[in-house]
Amino acid sequence: MKISLGPAPFNWGVEKLRKFYQELADTPLDNVFMGEVFCEKRNTLGLEELEELMFPLRERGKEVYFSTGALITNGDQWERLMQCVEVSSGIEVNTIGAFNNLRAGKKVIAGPFLNLYNHSSVQFLERFNVAGIVLPFELSQKSITSIISKVKTPVEIVAYGNLPLGVSWRCYIARSHNLGVKECQFKCMQHQKGIMAENLDGIPLFLINGPYILSARKRCLVRELEKLKAMGVSSIRIMPQYENTPEIVTIFRQAMDHQLSLHNAFKQLSQLEELSFSNGWFHGEAGWKYIKSDHKLVEKDSNNFLPPLRNIC
């Protein structure tokens, strides 16, 4: 299986991104996805800056794709998007309207925000000769296996990172500063790890990122790597982290190459994360849960959440 790096989920600014991708140049990544998926307003990188960020990655043999936003609202954004695609290896499409604007000669990846929940929808997109598909985050291993068995296109799933749960046209961070989305002043730059939202008992529930809400806990499927390979998954995706991303990529690669046991890989990843992990959706359970391979809830995690019928608002 290959390892991909998803687009940066937060507004880190050019200097942070420059350092971030330089550090990743020598990691065992196969594909790197750049671009602003969550908020087109903060998609401010110029073409020269974008090419500068891509250069060290390409020099190390990595394919670099440009990811579109999930919400594109005007023609100026479309035009800029197409310009960015010209300097990349291809495009990751996260809004269905982009298929009307694709240009010949570029690889097309169907992104996770297209909501491809069954093989029929994937087969429809295969008419556009897509080179790969990133499945939605909520799918269980049963659904993933069913789709893979009926399509020809390579399938990628997110194996590590906070998972997007909802999107709004309004910006939550701007509103927290009593600002509207049009006058946001890029306050998200002050929260480069997002804002953690807790319930009344102080239990982390969500991570707020501009107009998006993500899961507080990160998905981690390192223990499921052998299962993913047997299912026919072609690539796993790691979502960029503010810290320790090169270490996370290396741990996954070592586990995939049997240089590190899955148990030790999980242990090392746990040492890099403050909260415990989740993998519930993959096992057909509630998304916040962490399930061992025997489908039993990990006891040390089970006490971290509210019992049923308790108000979590």
pLDDT of 226-263, one tens digit each?
999 999 999 999 999 999 999 999 999 999 999 999 99
pLDDT of residue 310: 39
Q: Is 1.20.810.10 the CATH number for 2-162+217-273?
A: no
Ordered alpha helix ranges (H), the chain: 13-24, 47-59, 75-86, 119-125, 141-150, 172-176, 225-231, 245-256, 262-270, 299-302
pLDDT of residue 6: 96
Span 140-186, pLDDT tens digits: 999 999 999 999 999 999 999 999 888 777 888 888 888 888 888 88
pLDDT of residue 305: 43
Ranges of the chain whose pLDDT falls below 50: 295, 297, 299-313
pLDDT of residue 149: 96
**DSSP letters of 75-110?**
HHHHHHHHHHHHTSSEEEE-SGGGGGG--TTSEEEE
pLDDT of residue 212: 86
Residue 64 region by backbone torsions, left for phi larger than 0, else alpha for psi between -120 and 50, else beta: beta
Burial of 129 (C-beta count, 10 Å sphere; 0-12/13-18/19+): exposed
pTM: 0.88
pLDDT of residue 90: 85
CA distance 167 to 164: 8
